[in-house]
């Protein structure tokens, strides 16, 4: 008698545990589906957004006044730290109003649709209302079989003038410059050497080495690049890639390496992120680094968004019928197990009462 009661209680516990697991899976799956749907919708909206995509940003710049006094901002790798993006944009809009922003690559952590949707979704929530140029980084374009970078961000190399300053975006995401790139760069510099007061270059991988950078020496691969910097008196070279902030003046050019615009490493999650604000006042150029203190909430939100939006959500959007059927099956199983456990709970006391009366 006691053994039968214990067996029934054990069976009931198993049913409750299974129902709980199904409920958790259903809840998490539903969240992933909703996050994927939202990201897909916002990414679709950002395809025609006026403030993102290099060619559309060029039109914004061309149609705006060209002052002698203005500011622009630069920040680097976002990757998994997407929750930092709205915070960065808010700082640049309020505390340091700028004319435009240049992101020096590794906007996404993987070159797949899920992570591009994740980045664009966060950008949509940031309320971006100023041109944002994007330089290709290795994470943006490696294995980019669908050409997502150019689809969402436009050409990988371009130049524009703002005021009396020349801005050039270059692509060294997957290797050093090729001869055709050097010819293009030299042609742009030569055509605009008259009437240009300042020259700013943007690329992803730093061409310089410095103590404790941990990088493989690469300066000998950029000798031709350094010659062009000297010949045309380039003011600044902005890069990302290295997760930290480094500023170094060399031969008349200032190199700023800011590879942490939000990203964090596996072994160092609570780290600050940086953005550099440059102010041009006629012949004068000044730069300052704005450091944003780390926040646990930003790290947790970034990890949550990456998992539910870029992974579960993207799988759900690609396999909507299968995923919907799976959720329906799990939800039905959860309801069935709950009903079964309650039914067993009701039958138990009834049978026990009959046994006590001697009714077998």
DSSP string, 233-280: T--EEEE--SSSEEEEEETTEEEEEE--SS--BTTB-S--EEEEEEEE
- Residue-level pLDDT at 209: 85
Which stretches of the chain score pLDDT less than 70? 1-26, 95-96, 212-217, 265-268, 320-338, 340-360
Shortest CA distance to 242 belongs to which of 219, 223, 261? 261
For residue 360, the model assigns a pLDDT of 41
Would you call 16 helix, strand, or coil by DSSP? helix
Whole-number pLDDT of residue 124: 84
Q: 182 and 147 in contact (C-beta within 8 Å)?
A: no
pTM higher than 0.75? yes
Q: What 3-state DSSP class applies to 133?
A: strand
Are the C-beta atoms of residues 285 and 253 closer than 8 Å to each other? no
- The dihedral built from the CA positions of residue 21, 24, 30 and 36, taken in this order, carries a sign that is negative
Angle at 40 between CA 39 and CA 44, to 5 degrees: 115
Structure tokens at 204: 């992803």
Contacts of 338 (CB under 8 A, 6+ apart): 19
């Amino acid at each position: 008698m006691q053994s039968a009661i214990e067996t029934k209680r054990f069976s009931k516990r198993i049913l409750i545990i299974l129902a709980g697991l199904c409920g958790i899976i259903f809840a998490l799956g539903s969240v992933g589906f909703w996050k994927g749907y939202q990201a897909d919708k916002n990414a679709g909206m950002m395809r025609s957004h006026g403030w993102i995509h290099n060619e559309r940003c060029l039109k914004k710049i061309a149609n705006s006044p060209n002052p002698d006094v203005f500011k622009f901002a630069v920040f680097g790798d976002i990757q998994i730290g997407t929750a930092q993006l709205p915070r960065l944009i808010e700082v640049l809009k309020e505390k340091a109003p700028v004319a435009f922003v240049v992101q020096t690559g590794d906007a996404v952590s993987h070159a797949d649709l899920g992570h591009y949707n994740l980045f664009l979704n966060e950008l949509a929530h940031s309320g971006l209302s100023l041109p944002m140029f994007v330089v290709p980084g290795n994470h943006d374009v490696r294995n980019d079989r669908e050409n997502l970078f150019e689809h969402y961000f436009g050409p990988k190399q371009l130049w524009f003038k703002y005021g009396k300053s020349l801005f050039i975006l270059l692509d060294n995401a997957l290797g050093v410059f090729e001869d055709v790139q050097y010819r293009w760069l030299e042609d742009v510099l030569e055509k605009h050497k008259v009437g240009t007061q300042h020259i700013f270059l943007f690329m992803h991988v730093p061409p310089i080495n410095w103590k404790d950078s941990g990088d493989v020496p690469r300066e000998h691969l950029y000798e031709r690049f350094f010659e062009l910097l000297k010949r045309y008196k380039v003011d600044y070279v902005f890069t990302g890639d290295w997760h930290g902030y480094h500023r170094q003046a060399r031969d008349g050019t200032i190199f700023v390496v800011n590879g942490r615009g939000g990203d964090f490493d596996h072994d160092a999650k609570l780290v600050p992120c940086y953005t550099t604000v440059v102010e041009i006042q006629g012949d004068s150029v000044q730069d300052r680094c704005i450091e944003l203190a780390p926040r646990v909430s930003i790290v947790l939100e970034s990890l949550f968004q990456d998992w539910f939006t870029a992974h579960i959500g993207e799988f759900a959007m690609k396999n909507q019928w299968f995923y919907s059927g799976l959720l329906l099956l799990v939800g039905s199983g959860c309801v069935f197990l709950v009903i079964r456990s309650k039914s067993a709970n009701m039958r138990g006391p009834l049978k026990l009462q009959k046994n006590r009366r001697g009714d077998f």
